[in-house]
Amino acid sequence: MNGVLYVSHGSRIKEAIEEAISFIETVKEKVEEPLQETCFLELAEPNIQQGVYKLIKQGANKISIIPVLLLSAGHYFKDIPKEIESIKVQFPDVQFTYGQPLGVQPRLTQILSERIQETGIKPAEDAKILIVGRGSYNPQTQIDISSIGETFRETTGFKDVEVCYLAACNPSFEHTLNKYLEAKPSQIFIAPYLWFTGVLEKHIEQTVNIQETESDVIVCDHLGHHESMKQALLDRVLETLDVQKV
């Protein structure tokens, strides 16, 4: 019997956990499998092992592990596979299929443009756009975020777009924001390339709030419950289920 395990990142913030669970529940409704569970990589429970145990207890002998992650980085390449290998030793008769993160997709980059429109503030001619990624020590992260920034430039026509990171990569969010503030444009739109709310989004808001600036700084909403995000995760689930049927 097939089982699907969604592995979200986890957070110390209750609102972030609730948002992730709510999002995943909407995707579960579109997956025609009776055995589906949600777990977290860190900072919340159930963890991956507990999630697997729940599925096996319900009769699953084939489990699709779905990383609820935007991009390929350390959690995808190291942390989750490490947990899977440990579990395989305990349950050698269970077949595990490991899915892909959402990755770089034009339909997801388009959400950033929609989030700017949703602010209700018309971008001025000199508006600067700051796309903010989580960041990672894995070099693929910078490749991916840079690609997202370039696609955004090409598809929106904004003249001044820059990407930056909240951790582990350069340029940092703080450095890039200060550089923009020194240029004194009339507007700075900050577009977080983050799936759910959490510590990082709150850090963006706090950093902006303490600035004394002549510019109008607008923080856009994160990617969140956008329909394209739901469809992208659903596609990843269906891909692993197709592998299980081979």
DSSP characters over 127-180: -EEEEEE---SSHHHHHHHHHHHHHHHHHH--SEEEEEESSSSSSBHHHHHHHH
pLDDT at 76 over 60: yes
Residues 100-151: tens digit of each pLDDT: 999 999 999 999 999 999 999 999 999 999 999 999 999 999 999 999 999 9
pLDDT at 65 over 70: yes
Of 131, 222, 221, the closest CA to residue 180 belongs to: 131
Given this model, what pLDDT does residue 245 score?
Answer: 64
pLDDT, average across residues 183-187: 95
CATH label, 106-219, candidates 1.20.950.20, 3.30.420.40, 3.40.50.1400, 3.20.20.240: 3.40.50.1400
pLDDT at 243 over 90: no
Residues 142-156: tens digit of each pLDDT: 999 999 999 999 999
76's CB contacts (< 8 A; 6+ apart) are 67, 69, 101
pLDDT at 211 over 70: yes
CB 180 within 8 A of CB 188: yes
Say if residue 166 is exposed, middle or buried (CB neighbours under 10 Å; 0-12, 13-18, 19+).
Answer: buried
Domain with CATH 3.40.50.1400 in the chain: 2-102+226-245, 106-219
Tell me the average pLDDT of the chain.
95
Q: Which CATH architecture fits 2-102+226-245?
A: 3-Layer(aba) Sandwich (3.40)
pLDDT at 212 over 90: no
Given this model, what pLDDT does residue 174 score?
Answer: 96
pLDDT, average across residues 49-76: 96
Of 16, 20, 10, 14, the closest CA to residue 233 belongs to: 20
